[in-house]
Each structure stands twice: as C-alpha cells, then as structure tokens.
A and B are shown apart, each in its own frame.
Chain A
Amino acid sequence: DAGITQSPRHKVTETGTPVTLRCHQTENHRYMYWYRQDPGHGLRLIHYSYGVKDTDKGEVSDGYSVSRSKTEDFLLTLESATSSQTSVYFCAISDYDRDQPQHFGDGTRLSIL
C-alpha cells in the first residue's frame, strides 16, 4: 500500500470555524491532490500540488486553500467552513512518470453542522 496518512479521519465542527486537514506521504512523490467525494458527484478535484510551494486549482476550489511546505505534507484548509463542505475528503499522490497512477489515502469524513 502507498504510504499515505490522512488526519483526522473524522471531524465534526460548526459553520464558520476554520478546519485544516492533513495529508502525509512517505513515498517522496512529486504530485499531491485533494479531492472531495459526494453522492451524485463522484470524486472532484479541489487543489493539487506539483512540488513544494507549487499548487494549482482544481474543479471545485472555491472556499478552500492549500499549502505544501515539505514534499511529504499537503494541507487543505477551509477558512470558514460551510454546511456545503460536508463531505469525504481524499488525498492522492503520484509521481511524474505516466505509468504511475494516483494512489489514494483512506479519507477524512468531515461534517459541518
């Protein structure tokens, strides 16, 4: 299994509070991604990183920010959480070679009340 750890695994918080999710990898892969998974929408890309301090927006980036200060860590921040951000969040990693697919962590279930 790819060495990907997401924390926390579950979180319940209130509308308007800041939330940070962490993804840690031990594979030294260049690319890291954050997705959200919702019924009826499948997996949608929020942000991704192609190196330390290099990030770009995905399909559903509004309301989210990311940071990558080290190769192994990719943080996703909800500055002011809203109920529409209740979801399951997945981190993925990949290396540059096209034969290397994205590998996923086991997700963080986030509920915003």
Chain B
Amino acid sequence: EDQVTQSPEALRLQEGESSSLNCSYTVSGLRGLFWYRQDPGKGPEFLFTLYSAGEEKEKERLKATLTKKESFLHITAPKPEDSATYLCAVQEGGAQKLVFGQGTRLTINP
C-alpha cells in the first residue's frame, strides 16, 4: 500500500529564515511525486512534479528535490506570503490516482 508521510506537521519561521520540508514515501514504482500549496479555504494549487531520483525543480523561493525514498521542499529566504499548507502526493506507475500526505503547515512571521 502506498504511503506518504510529511514532516514536520507545522513549522514556524521568521521572514528570511530558510528551511526544508520533508516528504517520505513508499510506493511500488513511482510515476510522479507532486507538491501542492494550499491556502485556507482554497483548493490545493500545483507547484511541482518530480519523476526520478536526482531531479530538482525551482520556482521563486521554492526548490523541490527527489531521492528514492523522500522528497524535500526547500524554502529560501521565505516571506510572509509563503505561509500556507504544503502537500506532497505520489502517483504509482500505471495509476491515475494520487496518495497524499497530511501536509506541513508553514507560517512565516514578519
């Protein structure tokens, strides 16, 4: 059974204080690993897809990396507008379905 575990559950940072969020996964044949951002009262917003170990993708202050067992979302010099819940999901090869982790609630204080 596919499993996704995100840590920490919540993270509070000062503006400009860089950190990383972790997503550990167990899947039979990874088709893709997805990162989403979710703001309160909104649906998840797509950020990145990673397909194979060693792959990296960047968008503004965010950088996602992938190994065979986990993915990291690095946030560099965050701003208050980066505050959100970040969700990780995996897709097994041959399937359309996503399995989500429970998310990391990130708060950036000015």
A interface residues with partner B (beta carbon < 8 Å): 4, 31, 33, 40-45, 48, 50, 58, 90, 92, 94, 98-99, 101-107
Contacts and interface: CB of A to CB of B under 8 A. Distances in A.
Interface of B: 31-32, 34, 36, 41-46, 49, 87, 89, 96-103
A42 B34 CA distance: 15
A45 B101 contact: no
Q: At the interface, is chain A mostly helix, strand, loop or mixed? A: strand
B46 A101 contact: yes
A43 B101 CA distance: 8
B5 to A, nearest CB: 10
Nearest to B45: A104
Contacts of B32: 98, 101
A45 B96 CA distance: 11
A104 B100 contact: no
